[in-house]
Amino acid sequence: MRMPHDLKSYVQKHPDNQMAWYLLGKDYERSGQTAKANYCFERSGGVYEAFEHSKAPAQVWIEYQHKLIQLEQQRKKQQFKRRSAAIMLWLLLLGIVPSAMAPDAMNIDVVTEPADESSPEQGLESIDYTDEQGAAHESEADEAGPEPPVFTGIPLINDEITDEAAGRMMNQLRHTEATIITLGLEQENEFLLWGTSPARPLMYQFRSNGEGEVTSQSLLPEWCKCTSDDLKGLSASAIEWGQKEEQAIALRSAITAYKQLNGVYPERIEQLMKPFPNNHIGGVSSPMRELYPEMLGYIQSLAGDYRDSESDPTIGERSSEDGPLLPSFEDTYGGEPYMKEALSIIVNKETHRLTLLSGSIVLRNYEVGLGGNKTPEGDFVISDKVVNPNGRSDGEFGTRGMQLSDTDYAIHGTNDPGSIGLDESLGCIRMHQEDVEELFALVPPGTQVTIKDSANTPTQIIAPEQAGERFQPELVPGQTNPDKIYHWLN
C-alpha cells in the first residue's frame, strides 16, 4: 500500500512529529523502500524503538489507521480556519479601505508554507488550494485553456526520483514561472538511460509561480488525479518530444562533424546529403529539414561563429545564463535541446555492448558480436559509411558498414545473426540489421568510437522493439561505393 497524500503532507509541514515519521517509515518499509524507511525511522526518535519492542504489527496498524483519521480531521479544521481567516480579512478590508480597492479589484496571492527540506519527499506532492482565492485562480486558468506541456528529463534510481534530483528541479523553478513535465530517465552509474519512448515514463508535473512557490503533482497512473485521456495526450506529446530530440542530436552531430572536416558550416541540409563519400547524414525526414535552420544557427551561436546572431530570427531571445532559445524547442525546459553533446560510441568487449552516447545520456545500447582478442582496443573515428558494403544487401557485412579510421576493422551488419553476443568475428563489430541501420542513420563520419576491454557502460539492451519506434528517416540515395567491394578482415 502506498502512503496516502495526507500523511506525507503532514510530515512535511510538521517535521517534529516523531509518530508521523514512524508511520511514514513503516509504509516505506512495507513497500520495500528501505533507504527511505530508515531515514524516517531515524527522524522518529524514540518512537521507533518503543513500538518495535513493545507492540505487535497488528496493533501498530490499528493505530496507523486511527492516526490517518486524526490527520484528516486536523486537515479539515485547518482548512476551516484558513477560510475563516480569509473571510475576516475581507471584512476588515471592506471596512477600512475605499471602494476602489474592494475585493473584486484586488489581487492577494496566497503563498503556502515551503516544504521542510529535510523531508525525504522534498515536497513531491501537489498542494491543494482550498481558499476562495485559489478557486478563482483555478477557474481563470480553466477559461484560458491548458498550457502546452514543457518537457525535461529527471534521473531515476530504482524507478523513483531521487531527493537530490527533485530538490534541484524545485530550486531551479523557484524564480521561474513555468509548468514542467518530467520524464524519468533511469540512472546507472554516471549514465542516464534515454532508451525508447515507453522507457521514459511520465513522472511529475512541477508548477512554479515565479515567486518562490513550487508545487508538484504525480503523473503516475496510481497517483494522478487526472483522466486516462489526459495521460494519453501527455504521453503522445512526450513521444513526439523524444523523436524531435533524436532528430536534433543527429543534425547537431552531422553539422559539427562537417565543420570539423571542412572548416565551414553547411549552409543547407542538402550539403550533408551528398552521395558517398560525402554522405554526412544517412537519412533525412521532413521534420529534420524544418529543424535544420534553427539547429545550424543554434550551433553557430554557441560557438560564437554566427555573423549576425542577434538579428537571426531562428534563434529567438537569448540569455547570458540560459543560452539561446529556439522556437522549435518551446516545449523543452530551457528552450533548447535536452541532449547537448555530439554523439559518440563506446564498445564494451566484456559485455558485448555498443553504447551510443550524447555526453552522459545513453541514447542506445546494442548487443554486438566481436572477435575477442582480435578486436582491437583504442580510439577510432568512423571514416567510411557505406550502404551494402558487399555490393548487395545479403552479403556477409549486411546492409550497412562503417569503417573505423581507414583500417580493416568496421562496424557492420551480418548474415550470421546467431554470432551476435559472441566472439566469432575476425575482429570487426557485428550488429543485427535493424540495429546497424538505425546507428548508420544517427551517426555521421568523424564520430568518435572507443573500444575497451571493460567499461562502466550499461548492460541492458536499450533499443526500440517495434520497427515504428526506430530512428528511420528516409535513406539518402547514392550511399553505396560503386568503386569498391569491402573485404574487412574477410
Known catalytic residues are 412, 428
The beta strands (E) that lie in 313-377 are given as: 343-348, 353-358, 361-367
Q: Supply 143's cell numbers.
A: 477559461
297: left (phi over 0), alpha (psi -120 to 50) or beta: alpha
- Dist CA 364 CA 441 (whole Å): 13
In this structure, the number of other CB atoms found within 10 A of the CB of residue 474 comes to 12
- Dist CA 272 CA 248 (whole Å): 14
In this structure, the number of other CB atoms found within 10 A of the CB of residue 141 comes to 11
- Dist CA 20 CA 8 (whole Å): 9
* DSSP at 434: H
- Dist CA 159 CA 195 (whole Å): 14
- Dist CA 133 CA 210 (whole Å): 18
Q: Supply 291's cell numbers.
A: 529543424
Q: Supply 168's cell numbers.
A: 534541484
Cα end-to-end span (Å), the chain: 59
* DSSP at 405: T
CA angle 212–214–340, rounded 5-degree value = 95
Closest by CA to 196, choosing from 464, 461, 475, is: 464
Closest by CA to 202, choosing from 190, 223, 187, 184, is: 184
